[in-house]
């Protein structure tokens, strides 16, 4: 009688982000119940080992015992300079970027099944002499991905998901950044990843207009007529259920969202204020279109809370949950 083949546990990497922020302690707090909450999953925490142990104490987590249990490992990278809660130091900017590089390299090599990123401080990396726009853009560059899509999601049986056609652009630059080809590609990425990584057989995507009242038939702008509607028609020809353009001021209500799997908004502050109002503290930032899985928290470094033990780990737990679900679905595909 032959024994059943052993199942290799998922290995999820966590980058602990800005050392002066809440990332290290939120990681420890979220992993405190790892064995019970995520059985069969291994978490590799990337960060300075001494810093992690120190911040774990701030949230009452026995870091040594957690590691000894075997569900949590540490891939240590030394800080460039001592870090104190709430006090940014540009000397550690390259340390933060190094954590991200280690995670990306490991995921591309198949060592990690997914990456979960704690918040970082963009200014610290730029002050260290490295031009840096954000996690999303850096992940795209490092993985050689021509187009990625930022999607934030709530949790629950029917989560609200909002993806963005453009991300960190000044509002005046958004219209010129929208194109038929670009929107078709964005919609195709959303459709593919919702099928593969979220187990949705036929995702329904609702698409906003750019202008007030979705352009009012051209009286308030022509982007809906000249760009968005033609992109939706092409997506439909490819078998994608994408509908719109809808006025953004009326789309975010249950009678539309109850039957939707994702909303595609045209710019950052069109869709995310609604999502963050509904889910803040339990939301997840997901980068679609990458060859690797990446999720993150829905908040920043919270320097004022760092080291106090008062920061809420809800979004980090949600990000870990989502990464595990996506990795399981992708492995099964």
Quote the pLDDT of residue 52: 96
Quote the pLDDT of residue 281: 73
Nearest to 292 by CA among 105, 135, 14: 105
Confidence of residue 6 (pLDDT cuts 50, 70, 90): low
C-alpha 148/C-alpha 170 separation (Å) is 18
Mean pLDDT of 189-199: 96
Nearest to 324 by CA among 12, 108, 112: 12
Burial of 253 (0-12, 13-18, 19+ CB in 10 A): exposed
Q: For the chain, which residues make up each domain, given as ranges?
A: 1-145+290-333, 149-289
Quote the pLDDT of residue 102: 98
Mean pLDDT of 296-316: 93
Q: Cα 271 to the chain's mean position, in Å?
A: 15
Q: Is the pLDDT of residue 72 over 50?
A: yes
Quote the pLDDT of residue 19: 97
Average predicted confidence (pLDDT) for the chain:
93
130 Rama sector, left if φ>0, alpha if ψ -120 to 50, beta otherwise? beta
Quote the pLDDT of residue 154: 86
Percent of the chain with pLDDT over 90: 82
List, for residues 198-239, the tens digit of each pLDDT value.
999 999 999 999 999 999 999 999 999 999 999 999 999 999
List, for residues 258-295, the tens digit of each pLDDT value.
889 999 999 999 999 998 888 777 889 999 999 999 99
- Among positive and negative, which fits the CA dihedral 33, 38, 42, 45? negative
Least confident of 113-127, 164-178, 270-284, 298-312: 270-284
Strand order in the sheet with 262-265: 72-76, 41-47, 10-15, 114-117, 294-297, 284-288, 149-153, 161-164, 262-265, 204-208, 241-246
- In CATH terms, are 1-145+290-333 and 149-289 the same topology? yes
pLDDT higher for 3 or 153? Answer: 153
What is the model's pTM?
Answer: 0.92
Residue that is written with structure tokens 């099944």 in the block = 113
Confidence of residue 157 (pLDDT cuts 50, 70, 90): low
Quote the pLDDT of residue 1: 45
1-145+290-333 CATH fold: Isopropylmalate Dehydrogenase (3.40.718)
Mean pLDDT of 310-330: 94
Quote the pLDDT of residue 113: 98
Quote the pLDDT of residue 3: 46
C-alpha 330/C-alpha 292 separation (Å) is 10
Q: Cα 202 to the chain's mean position, in Å?
A: 22
CATH code: domain 149-289 is: 3.40.718.10
Q: Is the pLDDT of residue 302 over 50?
A: yes
Structure tokens at 83: 């870090």
List, for residues 16-26, the tens digit of each pLDDT value.
999 999 999 99
Mean pLDDT of 309-321: 93
Mean pLDDT of 301-309: 94
Exposure string (b/e) for 104-123, b if CB count within 10 Å is 16 or more? bebbeeeebbbbbbbbbbbe
C-alpha 87/C-alpha 70 separation (Å) is 33
Nearest-10 Cα torsion for 224, 225, 226, 232: 70
Quote the pLDDT of residue 109: 98
Q: Is the pLDDT of residue 156 over 90?
A: no
Mean pLDDT of 95-118: 98
HEC profile for the chain?
CCCCCCCCCEEEEEECCCCCCCHHHHHHHHHCCHHHHCCCEEEEEEECHHHHHHHHHHCCCCHHHHHHCCCEEEEECCCCCCCECCECCHHHHHHHHHHHHHHHHHHHCCCCCEEEECCCCHHHHHHCCCCCCCHHHHHHHHHCCCCCEEEEECCCCCCCEEEECCCCCCHHHHHHHCCHHHHHHHHHHHHHHHHHHHCCCCCEEEEECCCHHHHHHHCCCCHHHHHHHHHHHHHHHCCCEEEEEECHHHHCCHHHHCCCCEEEECCHHHHHHHHHHHHCCCCEEEEECCCCCEEEECCCCCCCCCCCCCCCCHHHHHHHHHHHHHHHHHHHC
Q: Cα 38 to the chain's mean position, in Å?
A: 19
């Amino acid at each position: 009688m032959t024994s059943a083949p052993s199942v290799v546990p998922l290995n999820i990497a966590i980058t602990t982000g800005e050392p002066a922020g809440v990332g290290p302690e939120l990681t420890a707090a979220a992993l405190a119940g790892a064995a019970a909450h995520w059985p069969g999953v291994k978490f590799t925490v990337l960060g300075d080992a001494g810093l992690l142990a120190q911040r774990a104490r701030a949230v009452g987590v026995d870091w040594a015992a957690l590691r000894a249990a075997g569900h949590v490992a540490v891939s240590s990278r030394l800080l460039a300079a001592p870090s104190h809660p709430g006090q940014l130091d540009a000397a550690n900017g390259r340390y933060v970027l190094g954590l991200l590089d280690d995670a990306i390299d490991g995921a591309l090599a198949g060592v990690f099944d997914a990456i979960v990123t704690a918040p970082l401080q963009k200014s610290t990396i730029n002050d260290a002499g490295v031009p840096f726009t954000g996690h999303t853009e850096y992940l795209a560059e490092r993985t050689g991905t021509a187009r990625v899509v930022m999607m934030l999601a709530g949790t629950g049986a029917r989560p609200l998901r909002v993806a963005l056609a453009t991300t960190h652009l000044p509002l005046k630059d958004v219209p010129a950044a929208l194109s038929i080809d670009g929107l078709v590609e964005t919609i195709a990425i959303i459709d593919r990843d919702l099928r593969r990584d979220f187990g949705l057989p036929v995702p329904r995507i609702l698409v906003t207009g750019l202008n007030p009242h979705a352009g009012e038939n051209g009286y308030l702008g022509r982007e809906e007529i000249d760009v968005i509607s033609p992109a939706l028609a092409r997506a439909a020809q490819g078998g994608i259920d994408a509908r719109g353009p809808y006025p953004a001021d009326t789309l975010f209500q249950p009678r539309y969202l109850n039957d939707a799997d994702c909303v595609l908004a045209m710019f950052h502050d069109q869709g995310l204020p609604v999502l963050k109002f509904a889910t803040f503290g339990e939301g997840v930032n997901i980068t679609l279109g990458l060859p690797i899985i990446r999720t993150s928290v829905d908040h920043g470094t919270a320097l004022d809370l760092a080291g106090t033990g008062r920061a809420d780990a809800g979004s980090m737990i949600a990000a870990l949950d989502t990464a595990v679900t996506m990795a399981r679905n992708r492995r099964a595909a």
